[in-house]
Amino acid sequence: MNASRLQRGLRKLAGQGLDSSAFRHESADRIAAAVGADAYCFAETDPESVLATTYATGNLDRSGAALLHVNELGQRDFLKLHSLADGPDPAGALSAVTGGRLDRSARHRDLLAPLGLGDEIRAVARTDGRVWGFLHLFRRASRPGFDPAEVDVVAAAAPLLAAGIRDAALGSPAPAHDLRGPVLALLDDTNRVVESTPRADEVLAELRDPDEPRAETPDVALMMAAFARGPAASSAPVAARVRTRAGRWFSLHAGTTAMDGGAGRVALILEPVAAPLTPETWRARYGLSAGESEVVEKMLAGRSTAQTAAELMISPWTVQDRFTSVFAKTGVRSRRELTGLLRP
């Protein structure tokens, strides 16, 4: 297991212009080989809501996806994803946190053990304080658990995974929407689509993972339905932004409804939106440096050249030089044009 070679390979892989699904498959294959995992699930997340939106899987039965979402959102368990996202350690092994007693985990008892799986490594793909994905690595139940050195290999790779997903998701322009306004799909208590507005089926088809093109209900819809029915729904909005297989961006909102006696049903609203406008977007799409992104952020916040210079502790001439470089990279000639470009 050569951790340095693995990291070099992941850096090179991130620069090959792969889409998110292809990058997650290739990178997870390499990490699985490095630590001796038998199966994996690599989810992309919406960095704003930190909700998983698409999944790349290898050697894994996905029929229990709904159980996974219920466990994550409604059960007490070990190594919960939100704890990883908020915590200092980017990776951990289920065997370590349960003291070798995997049966203490509801997720293991209800989902992993019936699939013949034993230990699990969970890792958060996080960079610059933003979460872009979650990686799950599994071993067969007949094999020993993961050791601390193997967890460290995954933890060291996590920021590279985040950068790769970020650049894949934001590095290419999104096609224009031909959909005017939101669409609605109604899910029953088994998460089947029982009613929908025109073109909702088209959007749902785009949201299906490439690994599960014939799935009746996309995994992101299953996850949001579980969230909408869960105890946290009353205290937090159930919303996420996701890029479809066609490259279009949608904002998804979910909530329960009891209309016409349909207790347990979930209304899923899917609305076309522009690509997320974040510093990661500008850096990936236009190749902006960190310094150039800083002055762009200040401009969009309404700061003048003098205010930007004072807040960043640089000279006004440096601010102007950075904007000159930004103009050249984005193909605009003024700050007004730049604002229009970044706020479509």
Mapped to the 3 state alphabet, what secondary structure does 198-251 carry? CCHHHHHHHHCCCCCCCCCCCHHHHHHHHHHHCHHHHCCCCEEEEECCCCCEEE
Shared domain for 20 and 132, answered yes or no, is: yes
Domain final residue pick, 170, 198, 229: 170
Domain check: are 269 and 293 in the same one?
Answer: no
> Is 243 part of any domain?
yes
- Clarify whether residues 285 and 269 are in a common domain: no
Q: Does 30 map to a domain?
A: yes
pLDDT for the residue 104: 97
Residues 83 and 231 in one domain: no
In a domain? residue 84: yes
**Residue 129 pLDDT:** 80
Residues 104 and 222 in one domain: no
**pLDDT recorded at residue 236:** 60
- b/e sequence 119-155, b meaning 16+ C-beta within 10 Å: bbbbbbbbbeebbbbbbbbbbeeeeebbeeebbebbb
| 238 assigned to some structural domain | yes
Residue 116: give its domain's CATH number: 3.30.450.40
Distance CA(13)–CA(15), nearest Å, equals 5
pLDDT attached to residue 237: 61
Neighbours of 309 (CB within 10 A): 19
> Domain count of the chain?
3
DSSP letters, 83-149, are HHHHSS-SEEEHHHHTTT-GGG-HHIIIIIGGGTEEEEEEEEEEETTEEEEEEEEEEETTSPPPPHH
**Predicted local confidence at residue 293, as pLDDT:** 87
Q: Are residues 59 and 148 in the same domain?
A: yes
Task: For residue 332, give the CATH number of its domain.
Answer: 1.10.10.10
Q: What is the mean pLDDT of residues 143-152?
A: 97
* Cα distance between residue 261 and residue 282, in whole Å: 47
Instruction: Confirm if 48 and 276 have CB atoms less than 8 A apart.
Output: yes
User: Is residue 197 located within the same domain as residue 153?
Assistant: no
Q: Is the pLDDT of residue 258 over 70?
A: no
CATH number, residue 254: 3.30.450
**Domain boundary pick from 115, 143, 170:** 170
Residues 146 and 206 in one domain: no
Are 265 and 285 part of one and the same domain? no
The answer to whether 1 and 150 are in contact (CB under 8 A) is yes
Average confidence (pLDDT) over 21-43? 97
177, part of any domain: no
In the listed set 143, 170, 197, which residue is the last one of a domain according to the structure? 170
Residues forming a β-bridge with 270 = 183, 252
Residues 166 and 26 in one domain: yes
Q: What is the pLDDT of residue 297?
A: 86
Angle CA 122–133–56, to nearest 5: 85
pLDDT at 19 over 70: yes
Q: Is residue 125 part of a domain?
A: yes
Q: Which residues contact 225 (CB under 8 A, 6 or more apart)?
A: 69, 187, 191, 254, 266, 268
Q: What is the percent of the chain with per-residue pLDDT over 90, rounded to a whole number?
A: 61
Predicted pLDDT at 270: 95
The structure tokens listed for 97 are 């946190």
Residue 178 belongs to a domain: no
pLDDT value of position 207: 94
Q: Tell me which residue range forms the domain holding 324.
A: 279-342
Considering the domain architecture, whether residues 232 and 322 belong to the same structural domain is answered as no
Question: Do 209 and 104 reside in the same domain of the chain?
Answer: no
- With respect to residue 176, please indicate whether it lies within any of the assigned structural domains: no
